[in-house]
Structure 1
Amino acid sequence: MDSIFHEKQEGSLCAQHCLNNLLQGEYFTPVDLSSIAQQLDEEERMRMAEGGMASEEYRTFLQQPSGNMDDSGFFSIQVISNALRVWGLELILFNSREYQSLMINPINEKAFICNYKEHWFTIRKLGQQWFNLNSLLTGPELISDTYLALFLAQLQQEGYSIFVIRGNLPECEAEQILGIMRVQQQQRPRLIGEEEAQTSSGSRSVALGQSEMGFVVEDEVVDEDEELKRALALSRQDIDVEDEEADLRRAIQLSMQGAVMCNKSSECEVGNVKSGSQAAGSAAREQREGQNETLTAEELRKRRQAYFDRQQQQTQTNIPQPKDTQPTGSSGSVNAGCEGDQQPKPSQ
Protein backbone atom coordinates (compact mmCIF):
# COMPACT_ATOMS: atom_id res chain seq x y z
CA MET A 1 0.00 0.00 0.00
CA ASP A 2 1.23 3.52 -0.76
CA SER A 3 2.68 5.62 2.03
CA ILE A 4 2.37 8.81 3.97
CA PHE A 5 5.69 10.67 3.76
CA HIS A 6 6.94 11.49 7.25
CA GLU A 7 10.41 13.00 7.74
CA LYS A 8 11.67 12.59 11.28
CA GLN A 9 13.69 15.12 13.24
CA GLU A 10 17.39 15.40 12.44
CA GLY A 11 19.39 18.00 14.35
CA SER A 12 17.54 21.32 14.25
CA LEU A 13 16.27 20.98 10.69
CA CYS A 14 12.63 21.15 11.74
CA ALA A 15 11.88 23.77 9.04
CA GLN A 16 13.12 21.40 6.35
CA HIS A 17 11.09 18.52 7.84
CA CYS A 18 8.06 20.78 8.10
CA LEU A 19 8.20 21.75 4.41
CA ASN A 20 8.89 18.24 3.12
CA ASN A 21 6.12 16.72 5.25
CA LEU A 22 3.77 19.40 3.97
CA LEU A 23 4.68 18.78 0.32
CA GLN A 24 4.93 14.97 0.90
CA GLY A 25 8.39 14.51 -0.54
CA GLU A 26 12.08 15.42 -0.30
CA TYR A 27 11.63 18.79 -1.98
CA PHE A 28 14.07 20.83 0.11
CA THR A 29 17.52 20.23 1.55
CA PRO A 30 19.45 22.33 4.09
CA VAL A 31 21.49 23.77 1.21
CA ASP A 32 18.32 24.93 -0.58
CA LEU A 33 17.00 26.65 2.50
CA SER A 34 20.41 28.18 3.28
CA SER A 35 20.50 29.70 -0.19
CA ILE A 36 17.07 31.27 0.36
CA ALA A 37 18.20 32.58 3.76
CA GLN A 38 21.37 34.13 2.31
CA GLN A 39 19.33 35.79 -0.42
CA LEU A 40 17.03 37.29 2.19
CA ASP A 41 20.03 38.48 4.21
CA GLU A 42 21.46 40.23 1.14
CA GLU A 43 18.14 41.95 0.41
CA GLU A 44 17.95 43.21 3.98
CA ARG A 45 21.52 44.48 3.82
CA MET A 46 20.78 46.42 0.66
CA ARG A 47 17.73 48.05 2.22
CA MET A 48 19.75 49.04 5.29
CA ALA A 49 22.48 50.47 3.06
CA GLU A 50 19.96 52.84 1.49
CA GLY A 51 20.01 54.82 4.73
CA GLY A 52 23.74 55.24 4.48
CA MET A 53 26.52 52.75 4.86
CA ALA A 54 28.20 55.02 7.42
CA SER A 55 25.10 55.13 9.63
CA GLU A 56 25.06 53.56 13.05
CA GLU A 57 22.07 51.37 12.13
CA TYR A 58 23.89 49.88 9.19
CA ARG A 59 27.05 49.08 11.22
CA THR A 60 24.89 47.47 13.93
CA PHE A 61 23.08 45.40 11.33
CA LEU A 62 26.32 44.06 9.93
CA GLN A 63 27.52 43.03 13.38
CA GLN A 64 24.33 41.04 14.15
CA PRO A 65 23.98 37.38 13.13
CA SER A 66 21.53 36.41 10.43
CA GLY A 67 17.91 36.50 11.45
CA ASN A 68 16.93 33.98 8.75
CA MET A 69 19.10 31.04 9.79
CA ASP A 70 21.71 29.92 12.26
CA ASP A 71 24.36 27.25 12.55
CA SER A 72 21.98 24.79 14.23
CA GLY A 73 19.75 24.60 11.16
CA PHE A 74 16.99 26.96 12.21
CA PHE A 75 15.22 28.92 9.43
CA SER A 76 12.85 31.84 9.79
CA ILE A 77 9.25 32.21 8.66
CA GLN A 78 10.54 34.36 5.81
CA VAL A 79 12.62 31.46 4.51
CA ILE A 80 9.64 29.10 4.74
CA SER A 81 7.36 31.62 3.05
CA ASN A 82 9.78 32.14 0.16
CA ALA A 83 10.28 28.39 -0.21
CA LEU A 84 6.51 27.84 -0.49
CA ARG A 85 6.12 30.72 -2.90
CA VAL A 86 8.04 28.63 -5.44
CA TRP A 87 5.07 26.23 -5.43
CA GLY A 88 2.47 28.99 -5.55
CA LEU A 89 1.56 28.56 -1.87
CA GLU A 90 0.78 31.37 0.55
CA LEU A 91 0.91 31.63 4.34
CA ILE A 92 -1.90 33.34 6.29
CA LEU A 93 -1.68 33.88 10.03
CA PHE A 94 -4.43 31.80 11.62
CA ASN A 95 -4.38 33.83 14.83
CA SER A 96 -4.91 37.12 13.00
CA ARG A 97 -8.09 39.11 13.46
CA GLU A 98 -8.62 39.29 9.69
CA TYR A 99 -8.66 35.52 9.28
CA GLN A 100 -10.72 34.86 12.40
CA SER A 101 -13.37 37.27 11.11
CA LEU A 102 -13.89 34.99 8.09
CA MET A 103 -15.30 32.31 10.42
CA ILE A 104 -13.85 29.48 8.30
CA ASN A 105 -14.17 25.97 9.67
CA PRO A 106 -10.61 24.55 10.05
CA ILE A 107 -11.62 21.21 8.51
CA ASN A 108 -12.28 23.06 5.23
CA GLU A 109 -8.62 24.11 4.97
CA LYS A 110 -5.83 22.03 3.42
CA ALA A 111 -2.94 22.37 5.85
CA PHE A 112 -1.44 24.32 8.74
CA ILE A 113 2.15 25.14 9.74
CA CYS A 114 2.78 25.64 13.45
CA ASN A 115 5.74 27.23 15.24
CA TYR A 116 6.70 27.47 18.88
CA LYS A 117 10.14 28.33 20.22
CA GLU A 118 11.80 27.84 16.85
CA HIS A 119 10.18 24.43 16.22
CA TRP A 120 8.13 23.98 13.04
CA PHE A 121 5.72 21.19 12.21
CA THR A 122 2.91 20.51 9.75
CA ILE A 123 -0.73 19.48 10.09
CA ARG A 124 -2.08 18.36 6.75
CA LYS A 125 -5.27 16.94 5.28
CA LEU A 126 -4.72 13.81 3.17
CA GLY A 127 -7.81 12.61 1.40
CA GLN A 128 -10.63 13.23 3.86
CA GLN A 129 -8.58 12.87 7.06
CA TRP A 130 -6.18 15.06 9.01
CA PHE A 131 -2.71 14.04 10.17
CA ASN A 132 -0.21 15.59 12.56
CA LEU A 133 3.13 15.27 10.72
CA ASN A 134 5.29 16.62 13.53
CA SER A 135 8.87 15.49 12.89
CA LEU A 136 9.33 14.91 16.64
CA LEU A 137 6.82 12.02 16.50
CA THR A 138 7.72 8.48 15.55
CA GLY A 139 5.11 8.60 12.76
CA PRO A 140 2.00 10.39 11.47
CA GLU A 141 -0.77 10.92 14.00
CA LEU A 142 -4.38 10.72 12.85
CA ILE A 143 -6.54 13.67 13.95
CA SER A 144 -10.33 13.45 13.77
CA ASP A 145 -12.35 16.34 12.34
CA THR A 146 -13.88 16.93 15.77
CA TYR A 147 -10.51 17.05 17.52
CA LEU A 148 -8.84 19.30 14.91
CA ALA A 149 -10.45 22.53 16.16
CA LEU A 150 -9.69 21.59 19.78
CA PHE A 151 -6.09 20.75 18.89
CA LEU A 152 -5.56 24.12 17.17
CA ALA A 153 -7.15 25.93 20.13
CA GLN A 154 -4.81 24.09 22.50
CA LEU A 155 -1.78 25.08 20.42
CA GLN A 156 -2.87 28.71 20.47
CA GLN A 157 -3.25 28.58 24.23
CA GLU A 158 0.27 27.17 24.56
CA GLY A 159 1.66 30.08 22.54
CA TYR A 160 2.04 28.54 19.07
CA SER A 161 1.93 30.67 15.94
CA ILE A 162 -0.30 28.94 13.38
CA PHE A 163 -0.30 29.64 9.66
CA VAL A 164 -2.90 28.52 7.13
CA ILE A 165 -1.62 27.17 3.80
CA ARG A 166 -3.46 28.54 0.77
CA GLY A 167 -2.93 27.30 -2.78
CA ASN A 168 -2.72 23.99 -4.59
CA LEU A 169 -0.40 21.52 -2.94
CA PRO A 170 1.60 19.14 -5.17
CA GLU A 171 -0.06 15.83 -5.93
CA CYS A 172 1.04 12.85 -3.85
CA GLU A 173 0.23 9.17 -3.66
CA ALA A 174 -1.06 9.35 -0.10
CA GLU A 175 -3.60 11.97 -1.18
CA GLN A 176 -4.85 9.72 -3.98
CA ILE A 177 -5.05 6.60 -1.81
CA LEU A 178 -6.77 8.30 1.13
CA GLY A 179 -9.14 10.00 -1.30
CA ILE A 180 -10.90 6.67 -1.87
CA MET A 181 -10.55 5.10 1.57
CA ARG A 182 -10.38 5.98 5.25
CA VAL A 183 -8.10 4.57 7.92
CA GLN A 184 -8.14 4.13 11.66
CA GLN A 185 -5.15 4.30 13.97
CA GLN A 186 -4.97 1.63 16.63
CA GLN A 187 -1.66 2.80 18.14
CA ARG A 188 -0.72 6.44 18.57
CA PRO A 189 2.88 7.51 17.78
CA ARG A 190 5.16 8.66 20.57
CA LEU A 191 7.78 11.34 20.79
CA ILE A 192 11.12 10.25 19.39
CA GLY A 193 12.76 10.75 22.77
CA GLU A 194 10.28 8.30 24.29
CA GLU A 195 10.92 5.65 21.63
CA GLU A 196 13.24 3.12 23.23
CA ALA A 197 13.94 1.14 20.10
CA GLN A 198 14.56 4.10 17.81
CA THR A 199 17.36 3.05 15.45
CA SER A 200 17.03 5.34 12.46
CA SER A 201 16.28 8.96 11.69
CA GLY A 202 15.84 11.27 8.72
CA SER A 203 13.64 10.72 5.70
CA ARG A 204 11.25 7.83 5.93
CA SER A 205 7.95 6.71 4.43
CA VAL A 206 5.46 5.04 6.75
CA ALA A 207 3.22 2.62 4.89
CA LEU A 208 -0.50 2.75 5.58
CA GLY A 209 -1.57 -0.41 7.36
CA GLN A 210 1.86 -1.11 8.99
CA SER A 211 1.63 -2.40 12.54
CA GLU A 212 4.20 0.19 13.69
CA MET A 213 1.73 3.03 13.30
CA GLY A 214 -1.36 0.87 13.67
CA PHE A 215 -3.16 2.16 10.58
CA VAL A 216 -5.98 -0.11 9.42
CA VAL A 217 -8.73 0.41 6.88
CA GLU A 218 -12.07 1.34 8.42
CA ASP A 219 -14.65 -1.48 8.46
CA GLU A 220 -17.31 0.44 6.56
CA VAL A 221 -14.92 1.11 3.68
CA VAL A 222 -15.07 -1.74 1.22
CA ASP A 223 -12.03 -2.88 -0.66
CA GLU A 224 -12.54 -3.09 -4.47
CA ASP A 225 -11.40 -6.75 -4.51
CA GLU A 226 -13.92 -7.64 -1.81
CA GLU A 227 -16.64 -5.81 -3.70
CA LEU A 228 -15.79 -7.82 -6.81
CA LYS A 229 -15.86 -11.09 -4.84
CA ARG A 230 -19.31 -10.26 -3.45
CA ALA A 231 -20.58 -9.41 -6.93
CA LEU A 232 -19.29 -12.74 -8.26
CA ALA A 233 -20.88 -14.60 -5.34
CA LEU A 234 -24.24 -12.94 -6.03
CA SER A 235 -24.00 -13.84 -9.70
CA ARG A 236 -23.28 -17.46 -8.77
CA GLN A 237 -26.35 -17.45 -6.51
CA ASP A 238 -28.45 -16.18 -9.39
CA ILE A 239 -27.11 -18.98 -11.62
CA ASP A 240 -27.93 -21.55 -8.92
CA VAL A 241 -31.47 -20.21 -8.63
CA GLU A 242 -31.88 -20.35 -12.39
CA ASP A 243 -30.59 -23.95 -12.40
CA GLU A 244 -33.03 -24.91 -9.64
CA GLU A 245 -35.90 -23.33 -11.53
CA ALA A 246 -34.88 -25.17 -14.71
CA ASP A 247 -34.73 -28.46 -12.80
CA LEU A 248 -38.15 -27.78 -11.34
CA ARG A 249 -39.61 -27.08 -14.77
CA ARG A 250 -38.13 -30.32 -16.13
CA ALA A 251 -39.56 -32.30 -13.18
CA ILE A 252 -43.01 -30.82 -13.78
CA GLN A 253 -42.82 -31.71 -17.46
CA LEU A 254 -41.79 -35.28 -16.66
CA SER A 255 -44.59 -35.65 -14.11
CA MET A 256 -47.08 -34.37 -16.67
CA GLN A 257 -45.80 -36.88 -19.22
CA GLY A 258 -46.13 -39.67 -16.64
CA ALA A 259 -49.71 -38.61 -15.90
CA VAL A 260 -50.61 -38.77 -19.61
CA MET A 261 -49.07 -42.24 -19.89
CA CYS A 262 -50.99 -43.41 -16.82
CA ASN A 263 -54.25 -42.05 -18.27
CA LYS A 264 -53.62 -43.92 -21.52
CA SER A 265 -52.91 -47.14 -19.62
CA SER A 266 -56.09 -46.70 -17.57
CA GLU A 267 -58.16 -46.22 -20.71
CA CYS A 268 -56.73 -49.44 -22.18
CA GLU A 269 -57.52 -51.32 -18.97
CA VAL A 270 -61.12 -50.03 -18.89
CA GLY A 271 -61.55 -51.19 -22.49
CA ASN A 272 -60.39 -54.66 -21.56
CA VAL A 273 -62.83 -54.83 -18.67
CA LYS A 274 -65.73 -53.82 -20.89
CA SER A 275 -64.85 -56.30 -23.64
CA GLY A 276 -63.77 -59.23 -21.47
CA SER A 277 -65.17 -61.36 -18.72
CA GLN A 278 -64.59 -61.17 -14.98
CA ALA A 279 -61.38 -63.16 -15.49
CA ALA A 280 -60.13 -60.54 -17.92
CA GLY A 281 -60.91 -57.84 -15.35
CA SER A 282 -58.91 -59.74 -12.74
CA ALA A 283 -56.05 -60.02 -15.23
CA ALA A 284 -56.19 -56.24 -15.68
CA ARG A 285 -55.93 -55.75 -11.92
CA GLU A 286 -52.98 -58.11 -11.86
CA GLN A 287 -51.39 -56.06 -14.61
CA ARG A 288 -51.89 -52.85 -12.58
CA GLU A 289 -50.21 -54.45 -9.56
CA GLY A 290 -47.17 -55.13 -11.73
CA GLN A 291 -47.25 -51.76 -13.53
CA ASN A 292 -43.66 -51.01 -12.55
CA GLU A 293 -42.48 -53.94 -14.68
CA THR A 294 -42.03 -53.65 -18.42
CA LEU A 295 -43.96 -56.52 -20.12
CA THR A 296 -44.05 -57.52 -23.76
CA ALA A 297 -47.30 -58.49 -25.44
CA GLU A 298 -46.34 -62.18 -25.44
CA GLU A 299 -45.49 -62.16 -21.71
CA LEU A 300 -48.77 -60.44 -20.94
CA ARG A 301 -50.67 -63.07 -23.01
CA LYS A 302 -48.93 -65.91 -21.18
CA ARG A 303 -49.73 -64.42 -17.77
CA ARG A 304 -53.34 -63.98 -18.65
CA GLN A 305 -53.51 -67.55 -20.04
CA ALA A 306 -52.00 -68.92 -16.83
CA TYR A 307 -54.53 -66.94 -14.83
CA PHE A 308 -57.40 -68.34 -16.92
CA ASP A 309 -56.10 -71.89 -16.34
CA ARG A 310 -55.96 -71.36 -12.58
CA GLN A 311 -59.50 -70.00 -12.62
CA GLN A 312 -60.81 -73.03 -14.54
CA GLN A 313 -59.05 -75.46 -12.18
CA GLN A 314 -60.53 -73.67 -9.18
CA THR A 315 -64.01 -73.82 -10.76
CA GLN A 316 -63.77 -77.58 -11.38
CA THR A 317 -62.56 -78.19 -7.84
CA ASN A 318 -65.54 -76.34 -6.39
CA ILE A 319 -68.20 -78.47 -8.38
CA PRO A 320 -70.06 -80.74 -5.83
CA GLN A 321 -69.59 -84.60 -6.39
CA PRO A 322 -72.77 -86.93 -6.44
CA LYS A 323 -73.24 -89.60 -3.67
CA ASP A 324 -72.32 -93.29 -4.38
CA THR A 325 -75.34 -95.52 -5.58
CA GLN A 326 -75.77 -99.27 -6.00
CA PRO A 327 -75.84 -100.24 -9.72
CA THR A 328 -78.85 -102.21 -11.03
CA GLY A 329 -78.42 -105.18 -13.27
CA SER A 330 -75.27 -107.01 -14.19
CA SER A 331 -73.83 -104.18 -16.14
CA GLY A 332 -73.08 -101.82 -13.23
CA SER A 333 -69.40 -101.68 -14.00
CA VAL A 334 -69.00 -97.92 -13.86
CA ASN A 335 -68.50 -97.75 -10.10
CA ALA A 336 -66.97 -101.17 -9.68
CA GLY A 337 -64.37 -101.21 -6.89
CA CYS A 338 -65.45 -97.93 -5.33
CA GLU A 339 -66.64 -99.49 -2.14
CA GLY A 340 -63.40 -100.53 -0.62
CA ASP A 341 -62.61 -102.96 -3.52
CA GLN A 342 -65.51 -105.27 -2.46
CA GLN A 343 -67.03 -107.47 -5.18
CA PRO A 344 -70.79 -108.32 -5.07
CA LYS A 345 -71.60 -111.86 -4.05
CA PRO A 346 -73.30 -114.07 -6.63
CA SER A 347 -76.91 -114.96 -5.92
CA GLN A 348 -77.77 -118.41 -4.66
Structure 2
Amino acid sequence: MSQGPGAQPGPPSVYHERQRLELCAIHALNNVLQQQRFNQEAADEICKRLAPDSLLNPHRSLLGTGNYDVNVIMAALQGLGLATVWWDRRRPLSQLALPQVLGLILNLPSPVSLGQLSLPLRRRHWVALRQVGGVYYNLDSKLRAPKALGDEDGLRAFLAKCLAQGLCQVLLVVTREVEEKGSWLRAD
Protein backbone atom coordinates (compact mmCIF):
# COMPACT_ATOMS: atom_id res chain seq x y z
CA MET A 1 0.00 0.00 0.00
CA SER A 2 1.35 3.45 -0.78
CA GLN A 3 2.63 5.52 2.07
CA GLY A 4 1.80 9.23 2.24
CA PRO A 5 3.97 12.11 3.42
CA GLY A 6 5.20 11.40 6.92
CA ALA A 7 4.24 7.74 6.58
CA GLN A 8 6.79 5.19 7.70
CA PRO A 9 7.14 1.55 6.70
CA GLY A 10 5.83 -0.83 9.33
CA PRO A 11 4.65 -4.38 9.24
CA PRO A 12 3.67 -5.39 5.70
CA SER A 13 0.58 -3.59 4.40
CA VAL A 14 -0.03 -1.53 7.57
CA TYR A 15 -0.38 2.17 6.74
CA HIS A 16 1.09 4.43 9.43
CA GLU A 17 1.63 8.18 9.39
CA ARG A 18 4.09 9.76 11.82
CA GLN A 19 3.41 12.87 13.89
CA ARG A 20 3.93 16.26 12.27
CA LEU A 21 3.09 19.60 13.93
CA GLU A 22 -0.21 19.21 15.85
CA LEU A 23 -1.80 17.08 13.13
CA CYS A 24 -2.52 13.96 15.22
CA ALA A 25 -6.24 14.13 14.33
CA ILE A 26 -5.40 13.95 10.61
CA HIS A 27 -2.87 11.16 11.22
CA ALA A 28 -5.44 9.24 13.32
CA LEU A 29 -8.04 9.57 10.56
CA ASN A 30 -5.66 8.39 7.84
CA ASN A 31 -4.26 5.60 10.02
CA VAL A 32 -7.70 4.28 10.95
CA LEU A 33 -8.73 4.43 7.27
CA GLN A 34 -5.41 2.80 6.25
CA GLN A 35 -4.76 5.37 3.52
CA GLN A 36 -4.12 9.06 3.12
CA ARG A 37 -7.56 10.59 2.77
CA PHE A 38 -7.12 13.85 4.69
CA ASN A 39 -4.55 16.61 4.93
CA GLN A 40 -4.31 19.89 6.80
CA GLU A 41 -6.11 21.83 4.06
CA ALA A 42 -9.08 19.43 4.14
CA ALA A 43 -9.27 19.64 7.93
CA ASP A 44 -9.11 23.45 7.81
CA GLU A 45 -11.94 23.44 5.27
CA ILE A 46 -14.05 21.30 7.63
CA CYS A 47 -13.29 23.81 10.42
CA LYS A 48 -14.57 26.64 8.23
CA ARG A 49 -17.78 24.71 7.48
CA LEU A 50 -18.30 23.98 11.19
CA ALA A 51 -17.84 27.63 12.23
CA PRO A 52 -18.33 29.76 9.10
CA ASP A 53 -18.82 33.06 10.89
CA SER A 54 -16.16 32.60 13.52
CA LEU A 55 -13.19 34.96 13.53
CA LEU A 56 -11.19 32.55 15.73
CA ASN A 57 -12.15 29.02 14.79
CA PRO A 58 -12.89 26.96 17.92
CA HIS A 59 -12.18 23.63 16.16
CA ARG A 60 -8.42 24.07 15.65
CA SER A 61 -5.30 25.75 16.99
CA LEU A 62 -5.16 29.52 16.85
CA LEU A 63 -1.68 29.18 15.35
CA GLY A 64 -2.92 27.13 12.40
CA THR A 65 -0.74 24.13 13.33
CA GLY A 66 -3.62 21.67 13.76
CA ASN A 67 -4.86 20.52 17.17
CA TYR A 68 -8.26 19.69 15.64
CA ASP A 69 -11.16 18.74 17.90
CA VAL A 70 -13.55 15.79 17.77
CA ASN A 71 -16.05 17.70 15.63
CA VAL A 72 -13.54 17.77 12.77
CA ILE A 73 -12.91 14.02 13.08
CA MET A 74 -16.63 13.24 13.16
CA ALA A 75 -17.40 15.50 10.18
CA ALA A 76 -14.52 14.00 8.17
CA LEU A 77 -15.76 10.46 8.76
CA GLN A 78 -19.39 11.43 8.06
CA GLY A 79 -18.25 12.85 4.73
CA LEU A 80 -17.04 9.34 3.85
CA GLY A 81 -20.34 7.72 4.82
CA LEU A 82 -18.99 6.46 8.14
CA ALA A 83 -20.27 7.10 11.64
CA THR A 84 -18.76 7.56 15.06
CA VAL A 85 -19.96 6.30 18.42
CA TRP A 86 -18.60 7.40 21.78
CA TRP A 87 -17.78 4.36 23.94
CA ASP A 88 -19.32 4.68 27.39
CA ARG A 89 -16.41 3.81 29.68
CA ARG A 90 -18.88 2.47 32.29
CA ARG A 91 -19.70 -0.45 29.98
CA PRO A 92 -17.61 -3.61 30.21
CA LEU A 93 -15.28 -3.91 27.20
CA SER A 94 -16.66 -7.41 26.66
CA GLN A 95 -19.80 -5.71 25.25
CA LEU A 96 -17.80 -4.16 22.41
CA ALA A 97 -18.62 -6.09 19.21
CA LEU A 98 -15.19 -5.67 17.62
CA PRO A 99 -15.99 -7.45 14.31
CA GLN A 100 -18.55 -4.68 13.66
CA VAL A 101 -16.03 -1.87 14.30
CA LEU A 102 -13.84 -0.54 11.48
CA GLY A 103 -11.41 1.04 13.93
CA LEU A 104 -11.08 3.08 17.08
CA ILE A 105 -9.79 6.58 17.73
CA LEU A 106 -8.67 7.37 21.25
CA ASN A 107 -8.20 10.77 22.80
CA LEU A 108 -5.49 10.55 25.45
CA PRO A 109 -3.63 12.97 27.69
CA SER A 110 -0.13 13.49 26.36
CA PRO A 111 2.87 15.03 28.13
CA VAL A 112 4.34 18.23 26.76
CA SER A 113 8.08 18.51 26.33
CA LEU A 114 10.62 20.92 24.90
CA GLY A 115 13.42 18.72 23.61
CA GLN A 116 14.54 16.64 26.59
CA LEU A 117 12.71 18.85 29.12
CA SER A 118 9.33 17.48 30.20
CA LEU A 119 6.88 20.20 31.23
CA PRO A 120 4.15 19.75 33.87
CA LEU A 121 1.48 20.25 31.20
CA ARG A 122 -0.84 17.81 29.49
CA ARG A 123 -2.27 18.16 25.99
CA ARG A 124 -4.74 15.91 24.23
CA HIS A 125 -3.58 13.45 21.57
CA TRP A 126 -5.55 11.42 18.99
CA VAL A 127 -4.51 7.78 18.45
CA ALA A 128 -5.86 5.25 15.93
CA LEU A 129 -6.31 1.52 16.59
CA ARG A 130 -7.17 -0.80 13.72
CA GLN A 131 -7.21 -4.44 12.73
CA VAL A 132 -5.12 -5.31 9.67
CA GLY A 133 -4.66 -8.88 8.51
CA GLY A 134 -6.27 -10.32 11.65
CA VAL A 135 -4.02 -8.37 14.04
CA TYR A 136 -4.97 -5.22 15.95
CA TYR A 137 -2.39 -2.42 15.83
CA ASN A 138 -1.71 0.71 17.82
CA LEU A 139 -1.19 3.28 15.05
CA ASP A 140 -0.21 6.18 17.31
CA SER A 141 1.49 8.78 15.12
CA LYS A 142 4.08 9.31 17.87
CA LEU A 143 5.31 5.73 17.45
CA ARG A 144 8.12 5.02 14.99
CA ALA A 145 6.11 2.11 13.55
CA PRO A 146 2.76 0.39 14.19
CA LYS A 147 2.72 -1.66 17.39
CA ALA A 148 0.94 -5.01 17.25
CA LEU A 149 -1.60 -5.49 20.04
CA GLY A 150 -2.62 -8.98 18.96
CA ASP A 151 -6.13 -10.38 18.77
CA GLU A 152 -9.38 -9.05 20.30
CA ASP A 153 -8.17 -9.92 23.79
CA GLY A 154 -4.97 -7.94 23.20
CA LEU A 155 -6.96 -4.94 22.01
CA ARG A 156 -9.35 -5.14 24.97
CA ALA A 157 -6.38 -5.34 27.37
CA PHE A 158 -4.84 -2.26 25.77
CA LEU A 159 -8.16 -0.38 25.96
CA ALA A 160 -8.64 -1.41 29.60
CA LYS A 161 -5.17 -0.08 30.45
CA CYS A 162 -5.85 3.25 28.69
CA LEU A 163 -9.27 3.65 30.31
CA ALA A 164 -7.89 2.80 33.76
CA GLN A 165 -5.42 5.68 33.52
CA GLY A 166 -8.38 8.07 33.32
CA LEU A 167 -9.10 10.92 30.92
CA CYS A 168 -9.14 8.51 27.97
CA GLN A 169 -12.03 8.76 25.56
CA VAL A 170 -12.79 6.11 22.94
CA LEU A 171 -14.50 6.82 19.65
CA LEU A 172 -15.67 3.84 17.57
CA VAL A 173 -15.51 4.20 13.79
CA VAL A 174 -18.31 2.19 12.18
CA THR A 175 -20.48 2.10 9.07
CA ARG A 176 -23.75 4.01 9.22
CA GLU A 177 -25.62 0.70 9.12
CA VAL A 178 -23.76 -0.57 12.20
CA GLU A 179 -24.48 2.71 13.99
CA GLU A 180 -28.18 2.64 13.09
CA LYS A 181 -28.61 -0.98 14.18
CA GLY A 182 -26.47 -0.50 17.29
CA SER A 183 -24.64 -3.68 16.32
CA TRP A 184 -21.32 -2.29 17.67
CA LEU A 185 -22.68 -3.36 21.05
CA ARG A 186 -23.36 -6.93 22.06
CA ALA A 187 -25.37 -8.02 25.07
CA ASP A 188 -23.43 -9.83 27.78
TM-score (normalizing by structure 1): 0.39
Give the structure 2 partner of residue 182 of structure 1: none
Letter paired with 1:161: Q
| Separation (CA, whole Å) in 2 of partners of 1:41 and 1:13 | 19
C-alpha distance in 2 between matches for 1:12 and 1:102:
30
TM-score of the superposition, structure 2-length normalised?
0.70
- Contact 2:16–2:34, Cα closer than 8 Å, also in 1: yes
Report the equivalent of 1:39.
49
AA paired with 2:105?
I
**Partner Cα distance (1:87, 1:81) in 2:** 10
What pairs with 1:24-173 in structure 2 (closer than 5 Å)?
24-42=34-52, 45=53, 65-70=56-61, 71=63, 72-95=65-88, 100=91, 104-105=95-96, 107-108=98-99, 109-116=101-108, 117-145=123-151, 146-158=153-165, 159-167=167-175
Q: Counterparts of 2:37 and 2:59 in 1: how far apart (Å)?
A: 19
Alignment of 1:210-229 (within 5 A): none
Query: Counterparts of 1:158-237 in structure 2 under 5 Å?
Result: 158=165, 159-167=167-175
Aligned residue pairs total 147
CA distance in structure 2 between the aligned counterparts of 1:40 and 1:110, rounded to whole angstroms: 25
Residues of 1 paired with 2:94 and 2:131: CA distance? 19
Q: Is the 8 A contact 2:74 2:83 kept in 1?
A: yes
Cα 1:102/1:143, change in 2 over 3 Å: closer
Task: Give 3-state SS (helix, strand or coil) of 1:67's partner.
Answer: coil
Shift of 1:19: 0.7
Tell me, yes or no, if the aligned pair for 1:106 and 1:149 is still in contact at 8 Å: no
CA–CA distance in structure 2, aligned partners of residues 102 and 139 of structure 1: 26
Which ranges of structure 2 fall in alignment gaps of 5 or more residues?
Answer: 2-11, 109-122, 177-188
In the alignment, the residues of structure 2 paired with residue 107 and residue 82 of structure 1 have an alpha-carbon distance, to the nearest angstrom, of 23
Whether the 8 Å contact between 1:107 and 1:148 is mirrored in structure 2 is no
The answer to whether the 8 Å contact 1:106/1:148 transfers is: no
Deviation at 1:102, TM superposition (A): 9.5
How big is the shift at 1:140?
A: 0.7
Note if contact 2:86-2:170 (Cα within 8 Å) is conserved in structure 1: yes
Could you list the per-position Cα deviations for residues 321-343 of structure 1 after superposition, in whole angstroms to 9, with x for gaps in the alignment?
Answer: xxxxxxxxxxxxxxxxxxxxxxx
CA–CA distance in structure 2, aligned partners of residues 16 and 122 of structure 1: 10
Correspondence for 2:18 among 3, 8, 14: 8
Higher strand share: 2
How far apart, CA to CA, are the structure 1 residues paired with 2:132 and 2:28? Answer: 15
Identity of aligned residues (%): 29
* C-alpha separation in 2, matches of 1:20 and 1:105: 23
Question: Alignment partner of 2:84: what SS?
Answer: strand
Report the 3-state secondary structure (helix = DSSP H, G, I; strand = E; otherwise coil) of the residue aligned with 1:124: strand
The Cα shift of 1:30 comes to 0.2
Q: SS at 2:51's partner residue?
A: helix
1:16 match: secondary structure: helix
